[in-house]
Chains A and B, each alone.
Chain A
Amino acid sequence: MEIPQLHPDAAAGVQAYRAKKELLAPLGLPPELPPDWREKALCKFKELLQQRRSLSLYMDICVRCGACTDKCPFFLGTGDPKNMPVARAELMRKVYRHHFTAAGGVSGRWAAGEELTDTVLKEWFTYFYQCSECRRCAVFCPFGVDTAEITMAAREIMASIGVAPKYVTEVIKKAHETGNNIGIPEAAWIDSCQFLEEELKAQTGLDIKIPVNQAGAEVLLVPPSADVFVNTDTMMGYARFFYAAGISWTTSTYASEAANFGMFLNYDQLKKVNLRMLDAARQLGVKRLVMGECGHAWRAAQAFMDTLNGPLDFLAPPCPEHICELAARYIRTGRLKLNKSANDGLTVTYHDPCNLARAGGLLEEPREILRAVVNDFREMPANTIREKTFCCGAGAGLLTDELMPTRMNGAKPRMEAFRTTGATHLAVPCAICKAQFPVAFKHHKIEAQVVGVMDLLGRALVL
């Protein structure tokens, strides 16, 4: 990937739509910018500095060595210097230096501090919503400075004064109202599952169930809701797998969403959205919790669930488990009968979703599945996969139309890496990537298709 020249302010004009009071109020946020917003924001900033070592440490220790400057997909795609991870973090650091350090108070401009003003706030809202919290920069930082932590803190501060994007708040509101991010009511969920059952019957001649709200099932599967309506092959892939493995399972209409957009707004919502899955598991009396193909959902569940709303001792370990972990375990122990040739004709490569690859390291299981079910599987270049994977360009609340230029630019490094493989299919276990890539393929003039890992497994299963 060629590193672009600097184009200052190239991405400055791309901004998310602001949420209005009907979206802010239900989430417990101020319905509009309070007159004393500056004091309130600084107060929140101070509170977060005292609550999160990541934030206070990462404000202090960056030496601006520049190791991260060519690592962010949004910088590589736009050339906007404020999309370099260190520069993005400096948007917050300059305010930190001005308001919270001795040097900022004593030596003013020499300390590169800046007062929190309208202009700075606008800059924050622009650039902290051009970061997908993908954490690629952190992998290359000598101190592990994690821009996602800084972005999350900046977003939390903004949310505390009623500055939040329409898209993210709308999604969280829907998740509270309907149990999922698309806003599908219970009846439609049941309907769609029945429709997919009929589809499975037509494909296989078998009665493969997609159970809903079935108390006493062994497994509660929480998929991203898009799997039921858009990526239906993935949903049918889960169903085929559970059928072949002989595991009793269910979905829940109370927690019909794996994705946790709370992570893209504030800690409070992260926790509330997360709780729904555990309440559903308790209510249905399931023994295990399995997460579907969704990237950040996996980070929120795997790394945060127990801390946020645990203990999880009423569920069997490993809790939660990723569908790819479960399927790979069944493949490894020879409990599935597979016919690889069902996927012949496809040349498949694998995209590591940021949050599977960098948080927790779910690197091998999807590849184990793909090697077992696809004859022509190939990798993208080594510096673009595994923990060095490039974001699809739409994570962390960026999957909205008004941010399209940012999204397409952010997808550029991934698209270029994909192009080198000559693959026809891009396998990816993440609903956001699945929504982003078809658009990005078109934009970057690539003829290829996106599939889920479980789609390919489902096709190869001998039932």
Chain B
Amino acid sequence: MTVGLLFISCVAMSTLFLSMALYVAMAIFLGGMGWRIYRWIRTPVPLKIVLTPGPQKFPGVLRRLVGELFGFRALAKADRSLWTPAWLFHVSLLLLFLGHLGGLVIPHLAQTTLGLNEKQFEDMAQVVGSAVGLLAITMLVWLLIRRLLLPRVRWISTFSDYFALVLLLLIIATGNAMRFMGGLNIIQAQRFVAGWWTLHPVAPPRDPIFAVHLLLVCALLIYIPFSKMVHIGGAALFSPTLNQRNNPRQQRYVNTWEKNNGNSTASS
């Protein structure tokens, strides 16, 4: 048993396995998202179905989409007690993404851009990373409790809703564990990431939590395109109720599938 676990963890932490897992997951993620977004764009929008307030001109539409994308404005109108954890969670997720990018993928560029020395940069990463990591996990727990306790939301919840929350919880928990337990060698992590994305994989940090963290991220990447998580592709941007201009009387709007397929009235 112990030998078996040891063997599995050795394999899991080996250079090849972790790097390959991440390559495969990333390929599935990019391919899957590309395919999904391509399908949305390709599907015609037969009629004007824009919702009030429907801006008449493009700058108005842009403001509306930016407001939805970055401010979750419709959600704010719907329910403040949902908007608060949802918005804070998404903001912390964005910051964590930027933090990983700056701290692991382009550390030197990030450091010089911010005009900090190595010590200051690490201190900043420590403070901001810890705060955001805690914020993210608090909001996730809030959202999970809400889903479990509010009867209406619990009624509509499916396995996939809990799975997504738990997966994210585990990813952020393992991330926080590495930061707070001080087990991670950040230099090794940077080398691993640099090697990975320049296609010259090197050995990952010898830390089992790192391996678990990374494998969970791989699972998430694979899960996203095939689940509700696909909404990170910018769902609101493609939504006709939000991205159309309200000008059907000013500018003729043509139903493209009908134009291509002939008149539906005649064919039926």
* A contact set with B: CB distance below 8 Å: 3, 5-6, 28, 49-54, 56-58, 60-71, 81, 84, 86-87, 90, 101-103, 110-112, 135, 138-146, 149, 267-268, 271-272, 302-304, 306-308, 310-311, 317-320, 357-361, 363, 386-388
A residues less than 8 Å from B255 (CB atoms): 307-308
CA distance A359 to B53 in the complex (A): 9
Q: Can you list 17 residue pairs at the A/B interface with Cβ under 8 Å?
A: A6-B155, A53-B45, A57-B43, A62-B228, A64-B153, A64-B228, A71-B78, A103-B226, A112-B160, A267-B264, A268-B265, A271-B265, A306-B252, A307-B46, A307-B47, A358-B51, A360-B246
User: Distance in Å from the Cβ of A132 to the closest Cβ of chain B?
Assistant: 16
B residues less than 8 Å from A310 (CB atoms): 252
A residues less than 8 Å from B212 (CB atoms): none
Given A87-B155, A267-B264, do A61 and B230 touch, yes or no (CB 8 Å)?
yes
Looking at A50, A51, A62, A140, the one whose CB has the most chain B CB atoms below 10 A away is A51
Contact of B74 with A360 in the complex, beta carbons under 8 Å: no
CA distance A141 to B231 in the complex (A): 13
Contact of B227 with A103 in the complex, beta carbons under 8 Å: yes
User: Distance in Å from the Cβ of B247 to the closest Cβ of chain A?
Assistant: 10
Looking at A3, A50, A53, A304, the one whose CB has the most chain B CB atoms below 10 A away is A53
Contact of B226 with A101 in the complex, beta carbons under 8 Å: yes
Looking at B53, B155, B257, the one whose CB has the most chain A CB atoms below 10 A away is B155
Q: Which of B77, B160, B236, B248 contacts A302 (CB 8 A)?
A: B248
Q: Which of B52, B72, B75 contacts A359 (CB 8 A)?
A: B52
B239 at the interface (CB under 8 A from A): yes
Which A residue's beta carbon lies closest to that of B158? A112
CA distance A30 to B27 in the complex (A): 46
Contact of A67 with B82 in the complex, beta carbons under 8 Å: yes
Interface residues of B in 191-216 (CB under 8 A from A): none
A residues less than 8 Å from B249 (CB atoms): 302, 306, 317-320
Top 8 A-B pairs, shortest CB-CB distance: A140-B78, A144-B241, A67-B78, A66-B153, A112-B158, A361-B52, A53-B43, A144-B242
Which B residue's beta carbon lies closest to that of A352? B52
Contact of B52 with A143 in the complex, beta carbons under 8 Å: no
User: Distance in Å from the Cβ of B18 to the closest Cβ of chain A?
Assistant: 25
Which A residue's beta carbon lies closest to that of B53? A361
Which B residue's beta carbon lies closest to that of A107? B159
User: Distance in Å from the Cβ of B158 to the closest Cβ of chain A?
Assistant: 4
Extra pairs beyond A28-B268, A303-B47 (7, CB < 8 Å)? A68-B78, A81-B155, A138-B51, A306-B253, A307-B48, A317-B249, A387-B51
B119 at the interface (CB under 8 A from A): no
CA distance A186 to B172 in the complex (A): 72
Q: Which of B43, B50, B152, B227 contacts A56 (CB 8 A)?
A: B43
Contact of A387 with B82 in the complex, beta carbons under 8 Å: no
Q: Which of A53, A111, A306, A388 contacts B44 (CB 8 A)?
A: A53
Which A residue's beta carbon lies closest to that of B237? A143
Contact of B151 with A144 in the complex, beta carbons under 8 Å: no
User: Distance in Å from the Cβ of B195 to the closest Cβ of chain A?
Assistant: 32
User: Distance in Å from the Cβ of B206 to the closest Cβ of chain A?
Assistant: 35
Number of cross-chain contacts by CB at 8 Å:
199
| Size category, B interface | 35 or more
Contact of B241 with A146 in the complex, beta carbons under 8 Å: yes
Residues 57-94 of B, flagged 1 when their CB comes within 8 A of A and 0 if not, give: 00000000000100010110111001000100000000
Interface residues of B in 154-212 (CB under 8 A from A): 155-161
B150 at the interface (CB under 8 A from A): yes
User: Distance in Å from the Cβ of A63 to the closest Cβ of chain B?
Assistant: 5
CA distance A68 to B153 in the complex (A): 10
CA distance A49 to B36 in the complex (A): 13
Residues 6-21 of B, flagged 1 when their CB comes within 8 A of A and 0 if not, give: 0000000000000000
Which B residue's beta carbon lies closest to that of A387? B52
B107 at the interface (CB under 8 A from A): no
Q: Which of B39, B226, B246 contacts A102 (CB 8 A)?
A: B226
User: Distance in Å from the Cβ of A139 to the closest Cβ of chain B?
Assistant: 6
Looking at B236, B253, B265, the one whose CB has the most chain A CB atoms below 10 A away is B265
User: Distance in Å from the Cβ of B185 to the closest Cβ of chain A?
Assistant: 37
CA distance A191 to B216 in the complex (A): 76
Contact of A64 with B161 in the complex, beta carbons under 8 Å: yes
User: Distance in Å from the Cβ of A30 to the closest Cβ of chain B?
Assistant: 12
User: Distance in Å from the Cβ of A57 to the closest Cβ of chain B?
Assistant: 5
Given A54-B45, A267-B264, do A143 and B236 touch, yes or no (CB 8 Å)?
yes
CA distance A63 to B164 in the complex (A): 10
A residues less than 8 Å from B86 (CB atoms): 65
B235 at the interface (CB under 8 A from A): yes
Q: Which of A61, A66, A140 contacts B235 (CB 8 A)?
A: A61
B99 at the interface (CB under 8 A from A): no
